[in-house]
Amino acid sequence: MKFETKVIHAGIEPDPGTGAVMTPIFQTSTFVQESPGNHKGYEYARTQNPTRTVLQNNLAALENGRYCSAFSSGMAAMDAILKLLKPGDEIIATNDLYGGSYRLLRQVYENYGIHTTFTDMSDIDNIRSLVNGQTRMLWVETPTNPLLNIIDIESICSLGKSKGLLTCVDNTFASPYLQTPLDDGADLVMHSATKYIGGHSDLVMGVVIVNDEELAERLAFIQNAVGAVPGPQDCFLAIRGIKTLPLRMDRACENASRIAEFLKTHHLVDEVFYPGFADHPGHEIARKQMRHFGAMVSFNLKNDVMEEAWAIMSRTKYFLLAESLGGVESLIGHPPSMTHGSIPRAERLAARLKDSTIRLSVGVEHIDDLIGDLEQALGQQS
């Protein structure tokens, strides 16, 4: 099956009882048993739910994996992955990652004796020099949030394999339509399904996809034992959202490339971060591992004044000022004070995230309206 067919058919059958084409929402907490242990595969909805099963099977197929576990948020999915580790284990992570992921690693897992070192993963030698006897996991996010750096998944996974480490790729920014890290050697792929997978800004969810049966069993154990599972209604919404993933991504990626070109020539704009530019340092790697260059674009203002970035963001009409990304509607945000507010300023500046950095999640509206909106918002700037 091609990707466009998989989003609609992989793991999804009409309901055998009624013929319903859409997967029913099994809004139940428990399932009847004929005698103890004699049931139809479902006992209690924290452990398994038929709507969730369909979603998990579909997502496993989209990532070219064998197993998927769904969680109540992207952070809960990451938390489940980190629970594969034990005190004393160490992680090497990219230094330009989602602020909430940084917070979980730094402010939660450090307290449980799991230490993370952050580094620029676009240079593989940085990682090689940090691996020590305690290192167990490499945490990759590519394209990175919000500076759209590109990390070479294949090279990192082969380094991870040679050192006996697990490599996990947060694939939220790309979606399985643009990039399938398991094919490049990753052991685990995670998503904030809140973003492109759901695609309509109407749910919060996370997923983890793997190929290895033992890893899958450990994750399913954690999913049930900890219990951060999504409800059936949210699973239904995700299944529905996924059906249009390739259509949405094609349009959003095309819009993003036009917007990046527009911003590049604007007199108030300094750097534009977009891996589709031929002179982007990760352009060739993006071409190798991604189908398109994604629908996220970030930029800095020439004067780098935070208040001026805020003023521009409060003037856009179609680009809604909001946290999150990956929905059909375009969003505008200020990572230094929003998604990355929990990263200390000095560390943020060291990772080249400036005071005026504005991030756009480009949606599927008409391109003329989107460019017109940015033009008027920037145009009123002195």
Name the catalytic one among 67, 98, 109, 177: 98
- The nearest distance, CB 172 to ligand PLP, in angstroms, is 4
User: Is 112 an active-site residue?
Assistant: no
What part of residues 54-73 is at the interface with ligand PLP (CB under 6 A)? 73
Name the catalytic one among 170, 187, 355, 373: 170
User: Is 369 an active-site residue?
Assistant: no
User: What is the spatial distance between Cα 275 and Cα 294, in angstroms, rounded to a whole number?
Assistant: 8
| Residue 75 interacting with ligand PLP (CB under 6 A) | yes
x/- map, 199-228, ligand PLP, by CB under 6 A: -----x-x----------------------
Which residue reads 């006992």 in tokens? 43
Where do runs of H (alpha helix) occur along 149-282? 153-162, 175-178, 213-226, 232-242, 245-264
Name the catalytic one among 6, 52, 106, 195: 195
- Binding-site member from 63, 96, 170, 308 for ligand PLP (CB under 6 A): 170
- The nearest distance, CB 16 to ligand PLP, in angstroms, is 32
| Residues found in the chain | 382
What does the DSSP assignment read for 5-37?
Answer: HHHHHTT----TTT--SSPP----SB---SBTT
Residue 52 token pair: 């969730």
- Binding-site member from 11, 65, 74, 276 for ligand PLP (CB under 6 A): 74
| Residue 98 interacting with ligand PLP (CB under 6 A) | yes
What are all long-range contacts of 264-271, with beta carbons under 8 Å and residues at least 24 apart? 266/378, 267/302, 268/301, 268/302, 268/303, 268/378, 268/381, 269/299, 269/300, 269/301, 269/302, 269/378, 270/299, 270/300, 270/301, 270/302, 270/304, 271/299, 271/300
Closer residue to ligand PLP, CB minimum distance, 65 or 315:
65
Convert 79-107 to b/e letters by CB count within 10 Å (16 or more is b): bbbbbbbeeebbbbbbbbbbbbbbebbbe
x/- map, 126-165, ligand PLP, by CB under 6 A: ---------------x---x--------------------
Closer residue to ligand PLP, CB minimum distance, 75 or 182:
75
List Cβ neighbours of 268 (8 Å cut-off, separation of 6 or more).
301, 302, 303, 378, 381
Closer residue to ligand PLP, CB minimum distance, 80 or 131:
80
Q: Which stretch binds ligand PLP (CB under 6 A): 52-60, 131-139, 167-175, 359-367?
A: 167-175
Q: Given the rule CB under 6 A, which residues bind ligand PLP? A: 73-75, 98, 100-101, 141, 145, 170, 172-173, 192, 194, 204, 206
Supply the residues annotated as catalytic: 46, 98, 170, 195
